[in-house]
Amino acid sequence: MNKLLALLAATFFAASSFAQASAPTAADSAAAKTEMKAEAKADTKAAKTTSAAEKKKAKAEAKAAKKAAAAQKNAEKAAANAKADQKVHAADAKKTKADVAADAKEQKAEVKADAKKEEARK
C-alpha cells in the first residue's frame, strides 16, 4: 500500500511539474491532462497488481514454511518413536535373555538335584 501511495505521489508530482513547464494551448493541455490521467491510472493498476502478487507470494511462502515445520515436527516425532521402539525391543531382548538364563539355571539345578537323589538311593 505504501508503494502504491509513493508511486501515485511521484506520478502526480511529475505531472504537475511538467504541466507548469510550458504554457500549452487549451487542446494540448486537455490532451496532456488526459494522457497524464491515463498514465496515472496505468501506474496505479501496475502498483496494485504488483502489491497483489507480492501478497500472494508472501502467503505462499508462509504456507510452505508452515508445511516444512509440520514435516520437521513429524520427522522428529517419528525419530523419537523409532528410538522408543528400539529401547522397548532392547529391553524385551534383555528380558528374554534373562528368562532363558533363569530357565537354564533351573534345569541345571533340577538335574543336579535328580543326580543327588539317584546317588543317595545307591
pLDDT of residue 109: 92
Local confidence band at 116 (pLDDT 50, 70, 90 cut-offs): confident
pLDDT of residue 61: 97
pLDDT of residue 5: 67
Where residue 23 falls (left for φ over 0; alpha for ψ -120 to 50; beta otherwise) is beta
Which residue type occupies 84?
A: A
The mean pLDDT of the chain is: 86
Q: What is the mean pLDDT of residues 57-74?
A: 97
pLDDT of residue 24: 53
The domains of the chain are located at 2-121
pLDDT > 70 fraction of the chain, expressed in percent and rounded:
81
pLDDT of residue 29: 84
Q: What is the pTM of this model?
A: 0.45
Beta carbons within 8 Å of 67's beta carbon, 6+ residues apart? none
pLDDT of residue 53: 96
Cell of 110: 533340577
Element (H, E) at 23: none
Q: What is the mean pLDDT of residues 13-32?
A: 62
